């Protein structure tokens, strides 16, 4: 678990991830949280099926690098968004992150705080040297989150900007 000024970041177990995908508030009930208007995007549903659930189920892997970390707003006791690392660090010590804020909690600085929390976690992992991320070129809020956390744009393609943060220089 990671605690920031306003949030608690909680890594979800396999069973909790299954409840998360149902969007029936069973996860909120288990965690004693107030209900949210959480929805799963087609991209996140695909990530669950193809990557997150299989990797978290694999006992040979450190699930903290594959699971969804849900962000809980302390004052409202509600989930406001999620972040995940896309697997364990590669041979160069890179991890990739992906994230999203629920609609009703956007533009309040929560994701900047969530990414900052994951940076703090990464700084304490000896095998993590760099965090990378990609943002859609049209998603200005998403790349502002990275800029506020001192990521540097390192490239782009037709639809995405690619970002990098060197943990050693943070």
Q: Give the domain ranges of the chain.
A: 2-169
pLDDT tens, N- to C-terminus, the chain (170 residues): 999 999 999 999 999 999 999 999 999 999 999 998 888 888 888 889 999 999 999 999 999 999 999 999 999 999 999 999 999 999 999 999 999 999 999 999 999 999 999 999 999 999 999 999 999 999 999 999 999 999 999 999 999 999 999 997 76
The CA-CA-CA angle for residues 89, 94, 95, to 5°, reads 65
Q: Let me know: does 119 contact 149? Beta carbons within 8 Å.
A: yes
Tokens of 78: 């509600």
CATH of domain 2-169: 3.40.630.30
Burial of 109 (0-12, 13-18, 19+ CB in 10 A): middle
Compute how many other C-beta atoms are within 10 angstroms of the C-beta atom of residue 98.
18
Name the CA dihedral angle for 9, 4, 72, 48, rounded to a multiple of 10 degrees: -30
């Amino acid at each position: 678990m990671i605690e920031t000024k306003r949030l608690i970041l909680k890594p979800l177990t396999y069973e909790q991830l299954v409840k998360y995908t149902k969007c029936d508030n069973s996860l909120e009930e288990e965690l004693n949280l107030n209900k949210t208007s959480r929805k799963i995007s087609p991209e996140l549903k695909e990530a669950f099926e193809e990557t997150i659930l299989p990797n978290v189920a694999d006992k040979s892997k450190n699930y903290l690098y594959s699971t969804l970390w849900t962000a809980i707003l302390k004052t409202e006791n509600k989930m406001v968004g999620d972040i995940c690392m896309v697997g364990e660090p590669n041979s160069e010590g890179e991890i990739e992150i992906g994230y999203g804020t629920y609609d009703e909690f956007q533009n309040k600085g929560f994701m900047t705080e969530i990414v900052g929390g994951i940076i703090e976690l990464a700084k304490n992992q000896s095998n993590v040297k760099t965090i990378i991320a990609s943002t859609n070129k049209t998603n200005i809020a998403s790349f502002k989150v990275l800029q506020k956390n001192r990521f540097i744009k390192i490239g782009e393609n037709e639809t995405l900007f690619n970002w990098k943060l060197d943990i050693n220089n943070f």
